[in-house]
């Protein structure tokens, strides 16, 4: 009987359906790693992290060697103090945090424009996105439409990256989603 070692796993726990629908498309076949995308049953960042921690334990992931875990959520309704607590706790557990300010749709917008400074609340981002994606819906599948511009959006997200130390009053809109894409790109190079 042959034994096949478990493939390295990238676990992604999201806040909402928008993130989950988009990031699920990162799952590919025969790339030497597994991507699992789960939507947290609760949307508060501390609950998303708790759910991610439980998934890491349940799946016996080894975050120190081969596996990775990410929590993906918005900063829109979370205080700076709470985000700092979450970042510290996640770092201790080896879980990476992907933030978007004011919301994940800012990454979609970066496919089309680098002008995201004026977006005060998620509603602004969604209204602006409707100018580029007719009939935009949070539950829609936009992977194929966005894929040709994805690399540009990733590069733009580097310019608008949210730093480890969060000061939401001073932090411009943006996302550090490029960290997840960099990890996947690095893993593809190894397989």
CB 14 within 8 A of CB 23: yes
| Cα–Cα distance for residue pair 51/44, rounded to 1 Å | 11
**Which of 146, 161, 143 shows the shortest CA–CA distance to 97?**
161
Structure token pair of residue 116: 């995201």
CB 86 within 8 A of CB 46: yes
Structure token pair of residue 55: 């998934």
One digit per residue, the tens of pLDDT, for the chain of length 191 reads 555 667 899 999 999 999 999 999 988 766 788 999 999 999 999 999 999 999 999 999 999 999 999 999 998 778 888 888 999 999 999 999 999 989 999 999 999 999 998 898 999 999 999 999 999 999 999 999 999 999 999 999 988 776 665 555 566 788 999 999 999 988 877 65
- Beta-ladder partners of 38: 13
DSSP state of 5: P
Considering the entire predicted model, what is its pTM?
Answer: 0.91
| Cα–Cα distance for residue pair 101/99, rounded to 1 Å | 7
What are the backbone dihedrals phi and psi of residue 45, each rounded to the nearest 5 degrees, phi first?
-50, -40
| Cα–Cα distance for residue pair 30/154, rounded to 1 Å | 24
DSSP for 117-136 reads: TT--SHHHHHHHHTTTSTT-
| Cα–Cα distance for residue pair 151/141, rounded to 1 Å | 18
């Amino acid at each position: 009987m042959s034994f096949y070692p478990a493939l390295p796993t990238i676990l992604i726990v999201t806040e909402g359906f928008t993130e989950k629908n988009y990031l699920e498309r990162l799952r590919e076949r025969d790339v030497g790693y597994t991507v699992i995308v789960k939507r947290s049953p609760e949307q508060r960042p501390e609950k998303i992290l708790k759910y991610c921690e439980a998934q890491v334990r349940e799946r016996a992931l080894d975050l120190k060697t081969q596996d990775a875990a990410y929590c993906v959520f918005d900063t829109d309704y979370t205080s700076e103090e709470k985000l700092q607590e979450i970042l510290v706790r996640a770092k201790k557990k080896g879980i990476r945090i992907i933030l978007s300010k004011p919301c994940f749709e800012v990454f979609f917008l970066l496919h089309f424009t680098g002008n995201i400074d004026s977006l005060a609340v998620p509603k602004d981002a969604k209204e602006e996105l409707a100018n580029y994606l007719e009939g935009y819906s949070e539950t829609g599948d936009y992977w194929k439409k966005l894929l040709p511009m994805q690399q540009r959006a990733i590069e733009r997200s580097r310019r608008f990256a949210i730093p480890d130390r969060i000061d939401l009053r001073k932090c411009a809109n943006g996302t550090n989603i490029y960290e997840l894409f960099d990890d996947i790109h690095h893993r593809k190079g190894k397989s």
